[in-house]
Amino acid sequence: MIRIYTLERAKEWDELVRTFEHYDVYYLAGYVKAFWLNGDGEPILIYYERGETRAINVVFRRDLSQCKFFRETLEQSAFYDFVTPYGYGGFLVEGTDYGRLQEEYEEFCRQEHIVCEFVRFHPLLENWKGLEQLYTETYMGMTVYMDTCSEEEIWNNITSKNRNMIRKAKKSGLKVYWGRYPELIEPFMEIYNAAMDKDGAKDYYYFGKEFYESILEDLKQNAMWFYAKEEKEIAAIAIFLFGNENMHYHLSASRAEFQRMAPTNLLLYEAALWAGRNGYKKLHMGGGVGSAQDSLYKFKKSFHRGTDARFCVGKKIFDRGTYDELVEIRKAQDALFDDHSEFFPRYRA
């Protein structure tokens, strides 16, 4: 009762996802395609149905023979692991028979030679509930969202200091625009990559031009730029995603020389207004770096005085024997390998 959809069946994939009441943009084929181009793995949609219960899960299936640690030791297509695509995901379940879903999913993963799975559950959908027997679940921290049901609600939830920053940005002459313009890819990459340089980001976060082209092309109804300008100069720019009832602050950066003018404050406020006017109930902004309550989290928190959303992850080992063997291979390769690392899966630490 389990079927797999690949990007070759993207239309059917999306049609199926949209039959679920609480789907979000992260489950669409167009979203994962950009990260497939980025080299994250093979995206698949897993569909389960039995009786009154049905479920979907979107994952990247990663061939462990392609992992740099195992290229010399594993045959191609011998073993895989699953990981949630960048952002949020995990099972969406409609129905109540979680026990049968768990049994059949575990058997499916063993038959498909899936060693383990790492899940980043969706904070707004709280879809870790009911899956406690399938995954070892860990609370990581809180993420921030704005209630965008009304313009009054948006403004009232912003802290007084942040309101002053938004007023300051308006008075300084900054204006916010939005659209789906391909010509913004180059300036975005310039500003974003400079910000990654400043933060000492890992190579993974330097996305190529085809990544951004895919977002615009494959998410035609679900992605858009918002950008703040002072006359002809872009001060801050961000990609927002939206689907069903939610809008998401996806990737963003600003020019250092304009930060004193608070362009990102104004940009987020205008994006929240746009969300409410277009029927989206929440603007999810995520949390701090590594789920910490750091300066990034505090900045986001200044947009919403209310309750935050819990962020949880899930871990599951389907093949304990192979998992342990892979850890031993890593230990043999690297004398400094931390056998007690909390990273999951440990063999990729």
pLDDT for 129 equals: 96
For range 203-209, the mean pLDDT: 95
Please check the confidence at residue 269 and state whether its pLDDT lies above 90.
Answer: yes
Tens digits of residue pLDDT in 1-58 = 999 999 999 999 999 999 999 999 999 999 999 999 999 999 999 999 999 999 999 9
In contact, 270 and 170? CB cutoff 8 Å: no
Please check the confidence at residue 290 and state whether its pLDDT lies above 90.
Answer: no
Please check the confidence at residue 291 and state whether its pLDDT lies above 90.
Answer: no
pLDDT for 19 equals: 98
Query: pTM of whole model > 0.85?
Result: yes
Distance CA 154, CA 269 (A): 8
Binned at pLDDT 50, 70 and 90, residue 95 comes out as very high
pLDDT for 35 equals: 97
Distance CA 306, CA 144 (A): 9
Please check the confidence at residue 292 and state whether its pLDDT lies above 90.
Answer: no
pLDDT for 335 equals: 87
pLDDT for 289 equals: 87
For range 306-321, the mean pLDDT: 96
Distance CA 289, CA 286 (A): 9
Burial of 202 (0-12, 13-18, 19+ CB in 10 A): exposed
In contact, 255 and 235? CB cutoff 8 Å: yes
